[in-house]
């Protein structure tokens, strides 16, 4: 299951400060992964999954 919230940083400055929002879009998943800027879905989904600990094989996932 996925729950998502979208917040206007100018209307919620305390959240913008808490998440260090300097630009948009900014995606934070499970307080573990932070993705700034827009990107195509085939790149975005693997990065989110990797950040929350889901192991996948994708050319877009950075190997450590």
- pLDDT tens digits, 27-60: 988 888 899 998 999 899 888 888 888 877 766 5
Answering whether pTM is above 0.75, one says no
For the chain, which domains are there? 1-64 (3.40.30.10)
Residue written as token pair 């948009």? 24
Cα–Cα distance measured from residue 25 to residue 48, given in angstroms and rounded to the nearest whole number:
14
Structure tokens at 51: 């950040």
Quick one: how far is CA 64 from the chain centroid? 19
Instruction: Tell me what pLDDT residue 58 has.
Output: 60
Cα–Cα distance measured from residue 4 to residue 63, given in angstroms and rounded to the nearest whole number:
27
């Amino acid at each position: 299951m996925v729950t998502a919230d979208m917040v206007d940083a100018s209307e919620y400055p305390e959240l913008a400060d808490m998440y260090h929002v300097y630009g948009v879009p900014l995606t934070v998943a499970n307080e573990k992964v932070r993705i700034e800027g827009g990107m195509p879905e085939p790149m975005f989904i693997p990065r989110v999954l990797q950040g929350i600990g889901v192991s996948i094989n994708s050319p877009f996932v950075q190997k450590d």
